[in-house]
Structure 1
Amino acid sequence: MILYHASTSVIELPDILHSRDCLDFGRGFYLTIFREQAEKYAERFLRRGNEAYINIYEVCGDLSGFKKKEFTAYNEEWLDYVMKCRQGHQVESFDWISGGIADDKVFNTIDLYFANMISKDEALHRLVYEKPNQQICITSSKLLTENLLFKEAIKLSL
């Protein structure tokens, strides 16, 4: 499986230490299966006057010993998990978490829900109409070092 990571630099040896807290799936190294999604994300760096790279990795080896969680839709389970992670609360620990991103449109709904301005039912009703994109959060340093092989980095320009 090929995965992509947008960054302001080449990242041959990814780690979790440089990750921010309180992201959708918590602290970890975030990737996507969609190159176009990574490129679109990297464009933000270019617009801010920074360099932008698409780092390309290949997942190799046996992942069966790692604990994985996959969210296949924007549903109540996904919403509860993202809410806990974004609030910095400990949630069940996984080595690999995949599912939809809380992008701008999705985040607006989540923001209203977090502020108790809409109910969970209303938030879920709004999220039904959003097509999930894809993010993978790797929280295991062992998985990063043993099963994620750096292939190349492509420098982007406007």
Structure 2
Amino acid sequence: MKLYHGTTSEFVMPDLSKGRENTDFGIGFYLTDKESMAKNWKKGHPNNHVIVYELTLANIETGKLHIKRFENADIEWAKFVYNNRKGKNKKSRYDLIIGPLADNGLENWFTRLEKGEIDWDDLAKGIEFNKFQSLQFCFIKPNAIKLLEYAERK
């Protein structure tokens, strides 16, 4: 499977120490399954390019990696993203997290939640029909990074 990372930096393999805090799935190296999404992550910056990696999950031996997979943008996913964005999950117990790529609209729901205008059930109903078109893959630990093989830079 091809995965894409938009960046302004020059590198072949990621350095996990450069991950940012308060992101959707926590500190890690993020990729997406859609090249167009990777291009938009750093839109308008000089030296914008996309690094392409190959990922083969089929080769993972059972019990070797702790992977969290969100199949849908549901309340469990929303709470997980919220807690990470607010810095409440400081250390992940996962090696790799896969799930829908949140858009800026989700932050509006979180703001309404914090103001007390809605509760979690309202948020869940509100995002139920949103079509999150891309997946994001967050590689958190070195053993997960080893699943990536550099393919090219575009």
When normalised by structure 1's length, the TM-score is 0.85
CA contact 2:26–2:92 (8 Å) conserved in 1: no
Structure 2 residue 55 is the aligned partner of structure 1 residue 59 = yes
Q: Tell me how many residue pairs correspond in the alignment.
A: 149
Aligned CA-pair RMSD: 1.8
Identity of aligned residues (%): 27
Q: Once the two structures are superposed, what CA deviation does each residue of 1:42-100 show, in whole Å capped at 9, x if it has no partner?
A: 32xx2xx4221100001247323111111111111111111221122236511110112
TM-score by length of structure 2 reads 0.87
Residue 116 of structure 2 aligns with which residue? 116
Structure 1: gaps spanning 5 or more residues:
none
Which residue of structure 2 aligns with residue 18 of structure 1?
18
Cα distance between partner residues in 1 of 2:96 and 2:111: 25
Structure 1 segment 6-155 matched on structure 2, within 5 A: 6-43=6-43, 46=44, 49-60=45-56, 62-64=59-61, 65-90=64-89, 93-132=93-132, 133-144=134-145, 146-154=146-154
Distance 1:60 1:75 in 2: 26
Q: What CA distance in whole angstroms lies between the structure 2 residues aligned with 1:71 and 1:42?
A: 25
Q: 1:102 to 1:110 in 2, by over 3 A?
A: farther
How far did residue 102 of structure 1 move? 2.3
Structure 1's consecutive aligned runs of 4 or more residues displaced over 3 angstroms after TM superposition are: none
What secondary structure sits across from 1:98 in the alignment? strand
User: 3-state DSSP class of the match of 1:17?
Assistant: helix
